[in-house]
Amino acid sequence: MISFMDLYKINQRYRKEIDEAVKRTIDSGWYLLGKEYDSFCKNFADFCGTKYAVGVANGLDALKLIIRAYGFGAGDEIIVPANTFIASMLAVSENGAAPVLVEPDICSYNINPDLIAEKITPKTKAIMAVHLYGQTAQMDKICALAKKYNLKVIEDCAQAHGAVYKGKMAGNLGDAAAFSFYPGKNLGALGDGGMVLTNDESLFEKIKCLANYGGIKKYEYIYKGVNSRLSDICAAVLNVKLKYLKEDNLRRFEIAKYYRTNIKNPFIILPQIYDGNIAIPISHGNISQGEKVHVWYLFVVRTKNRDKLQKYLSENEIQTLIHYPIAPHKQIAYKEWNNLSFPITEQIHNEVLSIPCNPSLSDAEVKKITETINNYKE
Ligand SMILES: *Cc1c(COP(=O)(O)O)cnc(C)c1O
């Protein structure tokens, strides 16, 4: 069986360095907000080009803390793509604000920026741009709208470590950005982890404080805060893996390019890259100039008989996953939305299938996946 993503294999490639980093951290006797934490915050902020970073417990907390630090809550609305992972919405709901859903475009699966303006009301405070599956949202249009209506732009970068939009890194494309280091993400820890990035010093100070019980100094609290920290052991592992992120993303890019060139099946729709995502050679090594970039957290195909394709691939020893089988507005957790209609989002949730696309796959596996898909008949 070719597994969808073998996390053991992925981490094994850097095992020696990871072991050393973990050992170093254990031996330091300091496990929270220590040296590894500080250096990873600095390294990741430098990598993305932002001034400030706060390591937190997970990606959902990163989003939640950004919204809370801006003071958005009851009575406020935040624009969120209808087609995303549920955490994007939960972060808004947990602050008491209302997520206002906007349909994606069927080519990129990201929020359709041309449908945002009609959802903006006097209560709207921010637009959450989710870079789904590893492709950045259309940030020029989103930022122009935000400027026009005086809204904040919050990036959900949980699927877009190392993604680039017009030469600028994801995480540095809006007012504040949230990352997840869940083990399966492009940059994954050995456990949960997350980070907020921003260039706004006062937002940074407030989030740092909120995430540490609401205090700047030990035992002196200015907010009713939370405990949300990235552990030093995770930070140490992430410091190792960050060095290889570009290389890993390039391998994903290579695999995706092979699929996009060689999968030829009239029943299957391949993912597309939005025209704005043009590579700059400096940040992407051997991706040539003018080539469109995407970090391929997921390689998502679409087909009318999705369950049949999944069964066929499984019978042929290829594991696939569905991201995601039920649209957020159809979830029991959001009963109040169950009668709303988002036809493009629903179509995507009914038709998508994610095929293996990660740096631990061999060329032979990629070839086998391609050939098997090419032999599929509806
Ligand atoms: C993974 C993910 C999150 C949440 O991150 P966690 O670290 O799992 O809390 C948020 N948004 C998107 C789009 C994600 O894929």
| pLDDT-above-70 percentage for the chain | 95
**Nearest protein CA to atom 1 of ligand 1, as residue:** 158
Peptide bond into 70 cis (omega under 30): no
Mean pLDDT (whole number) for 8-17: 97
Q: Is the confidence at residue 12, as pLDDT, over 80? A: yes
**At 293, is the pLDDT very low, low, confident or very high (cuts 50, 70, 90)?**
confident
Which of 64, 109, 159, 238 has most ligand 1 atoms within 8 Å of its beta carbon, as the pocket-test mutant?
A: 159
Contact 109, 133 (CB under 8 A): yes
Q: Give Cβ neighbours of residue 151 (< 8 Å, ≥ 6 apart).
A: 79, 120, 124, 125, 126, 127, 145
Per-residue pLDDT, 164: 87
Q: Is the CB of 159 under 6 A from ligand 1?
A: yes
Q: Is the CB of 359 under 6 A from ligand 1?
A: no
For residue 341, the Cα-to-chain-centroid distance in whole angstroms is 25
Q: Are strands 220-221 and 176-180 parallel, antiparallel or unpaired?
A: unpaired
Question: DSSP secondary structure string, 142-184?
Answer: HHHHHHHHT-EEEEE-TT-TT-EETTEETTSSSSEEEEE--TT
Q: Is the confidence at residue 129, as pLDDT, over 60? A: yes
Which tens digits make up the pLDDT trace of 141-192? Answer: 999 999 999 999 999 999 999 998 887 899 999 999 999 999 999 999 999 9
Q: Which strands make up the sheet holding 194-198, listed edge to edge?
A: 52-56, 194-198, 176-180, 152-156, 124-130, 77-81, 98-102
Per-residue pLDDT, 165: 87
Q: Is the confidence at residue 364, as pLDDT, over 70? A: yes
Per-residue pLDDT, 91: 98
Per-residue pLDDT, 282: 39
Which of 61, 92, 131, 182 has most ligand 1 atoms within 8 Å of its beta carbon, as the pocket-test mutant?
A: 182
Which tens digits make up the pLDDT trace of 225-239? Answer: 999 999 999 999 999
Which tens digits make up the pLDDT trace of 186-198? Answer: 999 999 999 999 9
**At 217, is the pLDDT very low, low, confident or very high (cuts 50, 70, 90)?**
confident
Per-residue pLDDT, 30: 97
| pLDDT-above-90 percentage for the chain | 90
Q: What does pLDDT average to over the chain? A: 94
Which tens digits make up the pLDDT trace of 350-362? Answer: 999 999 999 999 9
CA of 375 to the centre of ligand 1 (A): 34
Mean pLDDT (whole number) for 97-103: 98
CA of 87 to the centre of ligand 1 (A): 6
Per-residue pLDDT, 280: 46
Per-residue pLDDT, 281: 39
CA of 37 to the centre of ligand 1 (A): 20
Mean pLDDT (whole number) for 132-144: 95
Per-residue pLDDT, 294: 87
Between 278 and 41, name the one with better pLDDT.
Answer: 41
Which of 85, 92, 297 has most ligand 1 atoms within 8 Å of its beta carbon, as the pocket-test mutant?
A: 85
Per-residue pLDDT, 289: 52
Atom index in ligand 1 nearest the CA of residue 193 equals 7
CA of 262 to the centre of ligand 1 (A): 31
Among residues 277, 4, 50, which one has the least CA distance to residue 179?
50
Which tens digits make up the pLDDT trace of 247-285? Answer: 999 999 999 999 999 999 999 999 998 765 654 433 444
Q: Which helix (H) or strand (E) holds 52?
A: strand 52-56
Q: Is the CB of 160 under 6 A from ligand 1?
A: no
Q: Is the confidence at residue 331, as pLDDT, over 90? A: yes
Which of 64, 83, 180 has most ligand 1 atoms within 8 Å of its beta carbon, as the pocket-test mutant?
A: 180
Collapse the DSSP code of 273 into the 3-class scheme (helix H, G, I; strand E, B; otherwise coil) and give the result.
coil
